[in-house]
């Protein structure tokens, strides 16, 4: 499952290439990729046709497009956005690729958006998904305010920084790289639950963008066992853990995300290389880079957890 760094690499790549582009046509090759859309494939295609892409946004692992049906010669940031966003969810194996118009189809191509860029160049935005767990769908936006009732940017990453978010994404918490992430609120959430700390990190309503890989990596950096009760962490430990989450995702972003196979690539079809810098994930039986003990793999929530049994003793 792509995590924050992977989705952000895709989002930023799209933002560099398709802001201001006009959607000329939409081709739906697999209707299951629209399972969460409120209408038919024909209605989805008709809604997008002739609209302009004015923003590419992300919160946690979710990404969405903001559209504007303004004058063709208008700047991408001018005019109001359509009150309906188009959510792009990668699921387990989804990829959003940009290709030249007319390039050969990918094997698992599900959706194709034919675009005309601001400079008149023609290109395709293609949603490729081997397992068909991801997809695209229309979703009305809702307003976002802070604790004092002031409108604040809803997305962790975007161009326009609008105080609006798709309704189905509104429950997703902010991520540690978000300028509006509330560290004090995060520590309070930890103090109120006896759940294991990894379970809390994977709860996208508490802190978003962290999946199995980066949870294991952050816990190793912080020297914490995955089953440590969240409420048992001291303030210092909670701060160290949050810093570790930020560090590991920042490092992964710099390397373009983590890829173990061909299912995660950026918009140009290139894999990320952060797996070379992983300290515990996927390294069962190899020496811990900190103390030399052998890394172990244990079952946790129907998935694998990797840890150092010396550096991360269960308390």
pLDDT digits (tens, 9 = 90+) for 50-99: 999 999 999 999 999 999 975 454 444 445 799 999 999 998 888 999 99
Q: Decide if 223 contacts 308 (C-beta within 8 A).
A: no
Is 225 part of any known ligand binding site? no
Q: Decide if 157 contacts 4 (C-beta within 8 A).
A: no
Could you tell me the pTM of the whole model?
Answer: 0.89
Compute the distance between CA of residue 236 and CA of residue 243 in angstroms, rounded to an integer: 11
Is 108 part of any known ligand binding site? yes
Q: Decide if 214 contacts 245 (C-beta within 8 A).
A: yes
Q: What is the pLDDT of residue 262?
A: 46
Q: Which CA distances in Å does 116 have to 24, 49, 50, 52, 82?
A: 7, 12, 10, 9, 19
Q: Are residues 143 and 20 in the same domain?
A: yes
Note whether residue 48 is domain-resident: yes
Range of the domain at 288: 183-307
Hey, how many other C-beta atoms are within 10 angstroms of the C-beta on 64? 29
Q: Which residues are known to be catalytic?
A: 2-3, 61, 303
Q: What is the pLDDT of residue 73?
A: 46
Residue 37 maps to which CATH number? 3.20.190.10
Note whether residue 315 is domain-resident: no
Residue 62 phi/psi, 5-degree rounding, is -100, 140
**Taking each helix axis from N to C terminus, what angle separates 235-254 and 4-18, rounded to the nearest 10 degrees?**
40
Average pLDDT, the chain: 90
Residue whose token pair is 């326009």: 160
Q: Are residues 127 and 188 in the same domain?
A: no
CA atoms within 13 A on the CB side of 88: 28
Q: Please give the share of the chain, as a percent, with pLDDT higher than 90.
A: 75
Note whether residue 224 is domain-resident: yes
Q: What is the pLDDT of residue 32?
A: 98
Q: Are residues 103 and 42 in the same domain?
A: yes
Hey, how many other C-beta atoms are within 10 angstroms of the C-beta on 52? 25
Sequence-distant (6+) residues with CB within 8 A of 130 are 93, 108, 263
Note whether residue 10 is domain-resident: yes
Q: What is the mean pLDDT of residues 38-43?
A: 98
Q: Decide if 121 contacts 174 (C-beta within 8 A).
A: no
Q: What is the mean pLDDT of residues 6-21?
A: 91
Give the count of domains, the chain: 2
pLDDT in tens, 186-230: 999 999 999 999 999 999 999 999 999 999 999 999 999 999 999
Asked if residue 144 has pLDDT above 60, the reply is: yes
Q: Are residues 13 and 157 in the same domain?
A: yes
Q: What is the pLDDT of residue 33?
A: 98
pLDDT in tens, 240-250: 999 999 999 99
Task: Using the 3D structure, point to which of 114, 147, 169 is the last residue of a domain.
Answer: 169
Note whether residue 178 is domain-resident: no
């Amino acid at each position: 499952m792509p995590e924050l760094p992977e989705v952000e690499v895709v989002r930023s790549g799209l933002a560099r290439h398709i802001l201001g582009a006009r959607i000329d046509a939409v081709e739906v090759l697999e209707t299951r990729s629209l399972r969460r859309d409120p209408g038919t494939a024909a209605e989805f295609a008709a809604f997008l046709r002739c609209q302009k892409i004015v923003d590419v946004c992300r919160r946690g692992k979710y990404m969405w497009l903001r559209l504007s049906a303004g004058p063709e010669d208008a700047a991408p940031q001018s005019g109001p956005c359509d009150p309906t966003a188009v959510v792009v969810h990668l699921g387990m194996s989804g990829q959003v690729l940009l290709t030249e118009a007319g390039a050969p189809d990918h094997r698992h191509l599900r959706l194709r958006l034919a675009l005309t860029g601001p400079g008149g160049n023609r290109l395709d935005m293609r949603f490729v998904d081997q397992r068909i767990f991801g997809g695209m769908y229309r979703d009305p936006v809702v307003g976002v305010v802070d604790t004092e009732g002031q409108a604040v940017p809803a997305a962790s990453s975007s161009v326009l920084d609008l105080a609006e978010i798709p309704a189905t994404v509104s429950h997703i918490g902010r991520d540690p790289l978000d300028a509006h992430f509330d560290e004090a609120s995060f520590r309070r959430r930890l103090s109120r639950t006896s759940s294991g700390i990894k379970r809390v990190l994977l709860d996208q309503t508490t802190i978003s963008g962290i999946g199995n890989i980066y949870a294991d990596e952050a816990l190793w950096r912080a020297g914490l066992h995955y089953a440590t009760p969240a409420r048992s962490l001291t303030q210092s430990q909670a701060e160290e853990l949050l810093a570790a989450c930020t560090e590991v995702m920042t490092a992964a972003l710099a390397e373009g995300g983590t890829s173990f196979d061909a299912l995660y690539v950026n918009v140009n079809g290139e894999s990320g290389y952060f797996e070379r810098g992983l300290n515990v994930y996927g390294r069962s039986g190899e020496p811990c880079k900190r103390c030399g003990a052998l890394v172990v793999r244990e079952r946790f929530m129907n998935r694998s957890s990797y840890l150092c049994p010396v550096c991360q003793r269960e308390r």
